[in-house]
Chain A
Amino acid sequence: MVNELKFSLLHSIFLLLGALVLLFILSPLLGMFLATSPVSLFDTAKEPEVRQSIWLTIWISMATTLFFAIAAVPLSYLLARKSFPLKKLITGIIDLPVVIPHSAAGIAILGFVSRNSILGKMGSLIGLDFVGAPAGIAVAMAFVSIPYLINAARDGFLGVPERLEKAALTLGASPVRVFFTISLPLAWRNIVSGLILMFARGMSEFGAVAIVAYHPMVTPVLIYERFGAFGLKYARPVSVLFILITLTLFILLRYLAKEKNSESSKR
């Protein structure tokens, strides 16, 4: 009885603390939503500059995620399956973009892709400009968001029993077929989760993108620009609109991923 009482008291304290954290997350957002009138939201949505910026942010982040996934997913597989020298160091390097300040990351990327760098020179040979261009935005987004995909996909592959891959090999499948028919489908849920995270992280990036490519303006940069030039009142509607669109997009993506998974497990 005493134990139960203690337990419920502890739970009540935890509940209170938890509620405070939730309130902390929700109240600024709610405050912003309440302070934005539907009319101003509607007017902002009609502005070509805002629409172009949101569209630019979404498509660059999506294209970046898909493009980098081609290399990141196989790397995750290697990290999950193979042991090799310096593996711990490599895992640490992958997490580096999460821990360094993103403005510093932007400075590093700028040096890496500037017109005088090797990559910049190679790009300009085929007419690809990085600085102040979508390609530069993509590189900055990828740099800060790729750890989320790699880590999620690696956890996914770790969750696939190695025996299933071995069984497939003894059933005459080549390693390539084993990867595409066993490992990838079984790790798919985590990979999709990682893709959504990377996509989301890419879209919300400001620091690195603003340094590498202030123009064309992705929405986080546009919000900053409006705040700097016109103040809080003008930055608010764009922020609310962007949050609404990205939230809808994530819910939709999560729902689609869930549908696909439950459909395949029902079959």
Chain B
Amino acid sequence: MTAPLRDPAHRVSRRAITLWLLEALIGFALLVGGSVLVASWIDGSGWSWLPSWVSEHIWWLPVALAVVELPFVVIEPLWRYAVHRWELSGDVVYARSGWFSRQWVFVPVSRIQTVDKEQGWFERILRLATVEIRTASYAGSSSIKGLDVGVAARLAEDLAHRAHELRDDAT
């Protein structure tokens, strides 16, 4: 964190780790499953134009993918939990997200056009919610994932209320 920006005040809910873990596991299963399909297809096809070392060792592909990918399944949720933070102060929403690459977003409440609270499947099971904050520009829009349902509802309501009072239509 060498950019001269302080950490936003609040962490997201701890249950967000579980959410990211579930999402990572699904991605992992799809990737490895897909590579198994590809491998069995190539194994059975007997294509002669492939170099022999490819078709003989094709089953290394899913194995290698699984070995490389597995640590990330665990690392990503933890890393994200360390990075994802948010704050609403001085009528500005300040949020940080990402893991390998990170992103800071500043959205002044006066420019907010819509605030949505969304819940996906897993989020509903885990009692989490996402707050989507939209302005007239993609680069001034933010979505804060992994908030506790109660926190998200309160934040969305506060934002909507404040935005209504402050609305500035220079854009």
- Chain A partners chain B: no
By a beta-carbon cutoff of 8 Å, the part of chain A in contact with chain B is none
By a beta-carbon cutoff of 8 Å, the part of chain B in contact with chain A is none
